[in-house]
Every structure is written in C-alpha cells, then in structure tokens.
C-alpha cells in the first residue's frame, strides 16, 4: 500500500508539473511573439474627491487616466470614489473610505487565461467580471479580512466595515 | 453524580457564549450578486474563515460574515443601490465595440472598414481617458499557428493606423485570438469574410 501511495503522489506531482508548464510556456510565447501589451494592468477611468495610489511605500494622486500596476494599493478618502478598468475589461470601482490591494493580475489576451486577486481591506467595492472569468471562473478571486470570494458571477458587490 | 454532569454543560454554555460574542462583534462584511447589463448573474462562492462556503447565484443574493462566520442576508435592490451608491456611480463607462473587416489572407482593411475607422476616432474623443484594445481574428483557412500570427498582424496593422492618426501608442494594446472566436461558426478550412476581422474596444 505504501508503495502505491508514493507512486500515486509522485504521479500527481508529475501531472501537476506537466499541467502547469504549458501555461507558463504560453504566457512566455505570447510575449515573445511581440505582443504589444502595456506593462500596466488597469487604468483609472473615474476619479472623484481624494483618491490615492500607494506604490512601493509612496503615495501618489490618482487622477483620471492614471495607470495601475500589480501590488498597488488604491485608497479613497471620505469624499473619494474611483473606477478602474483592467486589461481584460473587468472593472473595479470603490466608494469612499476604501482600501484595495491589487495582489495579482495576469492576463493572456490570446487565451483569456490568467489570474485576478485583490484584497479588499475596507470600503464598498463593485466588481464587473471581464474576459478572465470567461477563461476560467476560478481565476478571479477577491479576498477580505474574513472571507474569500471566487466564481463566475458577472457583477458582485463586497463591503467591508472599517475595523475600529 | 449531579455535579459532574452539570459541569460539562456549564463549560458548553460558556463556550457557546464566547462563540456568540465573537460572532456578534467586530466588523461586518457583506457580499452580494447583482445582474450585469445583459441580466446575467452567474455564481459566486463566499468562503469564510470558519465554516462552510455559501454559493450566491440569484439576483441580489447576499451573505454577511462576522467573527469569521457566514450567514445568508436579505438585501433588496433598493438597499444594495443605497449601500453601494458611490461605488456603482464610479463604474467606468462600458467599452464601445467596433468591428473592422479584412480582405482575405492579409492585413488590408476592406474599403468600408477603412471608413469605419472615422467612427472609432469619434468615440475616442468622447472619453476622458481613452485606451484601446485591438484584437485580431481570422477565419479557419490555414493552420491554427498561422492564424495566430495573421490575427496579431491584423491587430498590429490597425494599431499602427491609429497611432498614425495621432493616438498615443502606449494607450493601444494589440493581440490576436487567431481562429478561436469566430463570429460565424464554420468547418475548418472554410473562408468566411465575417470572421476576418479585428475588434476594437474603445474603453
């Protein structure tokens, strides 16, 4: 029994490797083929009141047209709201007093494969699904301090009360 | 014998009270599914830190999490609209979609589509911070790999035409979907003019 289990486990590991390799290769091939994808992942389309982007410990203002990268944090003040559009046409918009960290965003426009992972620390957020959710529903993930959300919902709302 | 039986129940009561206390204190989180512009909802699964996941798949289906525990919530459309007023008002405009068609086998636009580019430029002017996504497609004549290349070449061609019109190159991304997403389903190796296209999203 022991031997079979080990065999089974190593089979799983090999299978996992085989499965993950083509994805990496595909992404690499897409960029090698001279695909002209910009380095940024989202753009600010709507910005009202005070909105900031925190990047590498520094805070920047976030006017309409500003571009966002992975690992940026978007912060809205008490009078602020913001609407972002991502490369896969998904949108994320936030009401006042919000903070969202863009943990992961990868997107292959040829295959629609990739991953979206954002952490909503506080505030009200509306998310409209884009091409990623079409490629693989579990590729879109929203995390909050107390829960995790996944799925192919076309539009969802998340609200996290401020920690007092 | 009465005391030892009572003690565990006391402990149980205390533990229950603690659990209730932790579930009723601390910040609350809400999760809701609403339909998109086409009325579709889809499903979202909310997994709390403790306990089982809850699937939300009907219009306005909601859940709340507090103290790491989840429970279904009843929120009306009016309540959701009020709660998310500012976030919903800040949603970006939906992308405007244009289709341009090509002469078979290459990256030359049909005459009609060449004129359609004017409408694309007009839409760009309507938006405060426009960015463009150009996606090339092919029909099913030729191999998948060749069509991936042709699709990208078509997208790149339209991109360079828009850049020539003065649009900032870093605001346009071009990519190809090859023969993966035909507008009109055909058998392999069938020439179909409606599938030889680029889709331009003005966002």
Q: What is the pLDDT of residues B175-188, one digit of tens each?
A: 999 999 999 999 99
Using alpha carbons only, how large is chain A's radius of gyration in Å? 18
Query: Taking Cα atoms as reference points, which of B89, B31, B91, B92 lies closest to residue B60?
Result: B31
Query: Taking Cα atoms as reference points, which of A69, A49, A44, A46 lies closest to residue A58?
Result: A69
Which one of A32, A142, A149, A150 would you mutate to disrupt binding with B, by most B Cβ within 10 Å of its Cβ?
A149
Whether residue A36 is predicted with pLDDT greater than 90 in this model: the reply is: no
- Burial grade of A37 (CB within 10 A; 0-12, 13-18, 19 or more): middle
Tell me which chain B residues have a C-beta less than 8 angstroms from the C-beta of A84.
92
pLDDT of residue B80: 98
Whether residue B100 is predicted with pLDDT greater than 90 in this model: the reply is: yes
Average pLDDT over residues A84-110: 95
Q: Classify each residue of A106-124 as buried b or exposed e, where b means 16 or more C-beta atoms within 10 Å of its C-beta.
A: bbbbbbbbbbbbbbbbbbb
Whether residue A45 is predicted with pLDDT greater than 60 in this model: the reply is: yes
Q: Write the residue in B34, B45, B95 that is nearest to A157 by C-beta.
A: B34
- Of A41-55, A74-88, B21-35, B79-93, least confident by mean pLDDT is B21-35
The CA distance from B176 to B148, in Å, is: 6
pLDDT of residue B106: 86
ipTM (interface predicted TM): 0.78
- With tokens 């301090």, the residue in question is A145
Helix, strand, coil shares of chain B, percent, nearest 5, are 40, 25, 35
Q: Classify each residue of B43-61 as buried b or exposed e, where b means 16 or more C-beta atoms within 10 Å of its C-beta.
A: bbbbbbeeeeebebeeebb
Domains (ranges, CATH) in chain B?
A: 15-89 (no CATH), 96-202 (3.30.1330.60)
Q: Which B positions 47-76 lie with beta carbon below 8 A of chain A?
A: 47-49, 55-57, 65-68, 70
Whether residue A15 is predicted with pLDDT greater than 90 in this model: the reply is: no
Mind listing the pLDDT tens digit for each residue in B39-51? 899 999 999 998 8
Q: Quick check: B96 and B201 in contact, CB under 8 A?
A: yes
Tell me which chain B residues have a C-beta less than 8 angstroms from the C-beta of A41.
none
Q: Quick check: B46 and B92 in contact, CB under 8 A?
A: no
Query: Taking Cα atoms as reference points, which of A153, A101, A102, A159 lies closest to residue A132?
Result: A153
Whether residue A2 is predicted with pLDDT greater than 90 in this model: the reply is: no
- Of A39-48, A50-59, B6-15, B121-130, least confident by mean pLDDT is B6-15
Mind listing the pLDDT tens digit for each residue in A135-153? 787 899 999 999 999 999 9
Q: What is the mean pLDDT of chain A?
A: 82
**DSSP secondary structure letters along A61-75:** E--TT-EE-TT-EEE
- Of A33-42, A120-129, B23-32, B70-79, least confident by mean pLDDT is A33-42
Q: Which residues, 6 or more positions from B191, have their beta carbon under 8 angstroms from its beta carbon?
A: B104, B139, B141
Residues B47, A45: C-beta atoms closer than 8 Å: no
Whether residue B121 is predicted with pLDDT greater than 70 in this model: the reply is: yes
* A26: enclosing H helix or E strand: helix A2-32
pLDDT of residue A163: 84
Query: Taking Cα atoms as reference points, which of B116, B102, B119, B188 lies closest to residue B153?
Result: B102
């Amino acid at each position: 029994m022991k031997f079979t289990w080990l065999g089974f486990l190593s089979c799983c590991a090999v299978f996992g490797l085989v499965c993950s390799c083509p994805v990496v290769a595909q992404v690499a091939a897409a960029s090698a083929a001279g695909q002209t994808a910009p380095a940024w992942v989202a753009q600010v389309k709507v910005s009202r009141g005070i909105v900031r982007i925190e990047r590498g410990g520094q805070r920047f203002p976030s006017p309409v047209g500003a571009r966002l990268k992975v690992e940026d944090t978007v912060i809205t003040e008490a009078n602020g709201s913001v609407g972002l559009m991502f490369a896969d046409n998904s949108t994320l918009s936030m009401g006042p007093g919000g903070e969202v960290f863009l943990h992961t965003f990868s997107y292959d426009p040829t295959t629609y494969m990739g991953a979206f992972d954002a952490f909503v620390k506080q505030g009200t957020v509306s998310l409209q699904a884009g091409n990623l959710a079409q490629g693989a529903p579990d590729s879109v993930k929203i995390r909050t301090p107390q829960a995790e959300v996944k799925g192919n919902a076309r539009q969802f709302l998340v609200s996290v009360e401020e920690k007092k | 014998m009465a005391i030892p039986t009572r003690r565990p129940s006391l402990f149980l009561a205390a533990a229950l009270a603690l659990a209730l206390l932790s579930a009723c204190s601390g910040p609350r989180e809400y999760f809701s599914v609403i339909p998109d512009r086409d009325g579709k909802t889809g499903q979202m699964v909310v997994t709390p830190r403790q306990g089982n996941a809850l699937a939300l798949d009907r219009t306005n289906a909601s859940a709340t999490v507090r103290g790491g525990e989840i429970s279904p919530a009843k929120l009306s459309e009016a309540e959701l609209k009020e709660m998310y007023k500012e976030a919903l008002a800040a949603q970006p405009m939906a992308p405007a979609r244009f289709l341009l068609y090509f002469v078979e086998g290459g990256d030359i636009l049909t005459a009609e589509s060449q004129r359609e580019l004017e409408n694309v430029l007009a839409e760009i002017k309507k938006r405060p911070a426009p960015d463009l996504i150009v996606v090339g497609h092919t029909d099913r004549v030729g191999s998948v790999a060749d069509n991936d290349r042709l699709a990208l070449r078509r997208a790149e061609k339209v991109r360079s035409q828009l850049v020539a019109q003065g649009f900032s190159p870093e605001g346009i991304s071009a990519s190809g979907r090859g023969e993966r997403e035909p507008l009109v389903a055909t058998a392999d190796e069938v020439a179909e003019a409606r599938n030889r296209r680029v889709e331009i999203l003005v966002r």
